[in-house]
Amino acid sequence: MKILVTGASGQLGSTFKALESKGLANELDFDFKSASELDITDFDAVRNVLVASNYAYCINCAAYTNVDKAESENDLAYQVNVTGARNLAMNCNESNTILIHISTDFVFDGFLNTPYLEEDIARPIGFYGDTKYKGERAIVGNLEEHFIIRTSWLYSEFGHNFMKTMVRLGTERDELAVIYDQVGTPTYALDLAQVVLHIINAHSIDYGVYHYSNEGVSSWYDFAKTIFDLYNLDVDLKPIRSEEFPTPAERPKFSVLDKSKIKNTFNLQIPHWKDSLAVALNAYSKIKID
């Protein structure tokens, strides 16, 4: 099967590349396209790539993900997250390609105190989350054969993410303050990528919206503390409220995702976030040494 991967230079796209290079992608034929190689906001460019090739799947890892900058860069965020998603959906429909699209927990407002189900009402509180939800609706409205996977707090040994930032800051500073009143679940990109491959290899037609993160619950403070402990960094870590660290974009206070649907549909065993974090930090250590 030929698989198109958009946004291939980001952390999830890089994870798929790593899986392929290690021979762990079950000999799927990947075609990786970075943003410079395929601009998903350009309808004709997307059409030329999809219609000209016999792709069985398109994995859309392309996204505008800077939550704070999205508040001021409205047009760019909208073009990538909404127009780009629509372009992919319309052209996947024409080329008979199944679209696997990565979305986010930021489609929810964070006012619940129980894990979010796929059918819970999306009420984004920031422009980034709003564009991601509108991107989902653009896919649903233009393509039946799709999988939309909402995930949360994605990190890996690649790209820019919270884990790598904490390791860097933890080696530079003796003291740090991290927010403790925002709760969600860290997700290792490798685990998410393997689930995507599982869906592809299962030849599933159970299309729709799914939630995926690692198991367990964490605050950003807990996440940082565990990173420092596992990486043997001696940091005086102080918990602070969101109000003490104002940002342009408001974040959901609670965005834990209920994963029952994806676990039951695909018979998945999902690792706990702390176990996956240990794996990720070990992989990151090897990259730094090399």
Q: Which residues participate in catalysis according to the annotation? A: 128
- CA torsion, ordered 119, 123, 127, 133, to nearest 10 deg: 20
d(CA 193, CA 188): 9
Give bridge partners of residue 32 from the DSSP assignment: 5
Under 8 Å between Cβ of 70 and 128: yes
d(C-alpha 96, C-alpha 88), whole Å: 11
DSSP string, 38-56: --TT-HHHHHHHHHHS--S
Cα(208)–Cα(229) distance, integer angstroms: 38
Q: Are 5 and 16 in contact (CB under 8 A)?
A: yes
Whether 273 and 186 have beta carbons less than 8 Å apart is answered as yes
The full DSSP string for 128-190 is: HHHHHHHHHHHHHHH-SSEEEEEE-SEE-SSSS-HHHHHHHHHHH-SEEEEE-S-EE--EEHH
- The partner residues of 176 in beta bridges, in order of sequence, read 237
Rounded to 5 degrees, φ, ψ at 237 are: -95, 125
Residue 107 is given by DSSP the state G
CA atoms within 13 A on the CB side of 157: 22
CB atoms within 10 A of CB 94: 12
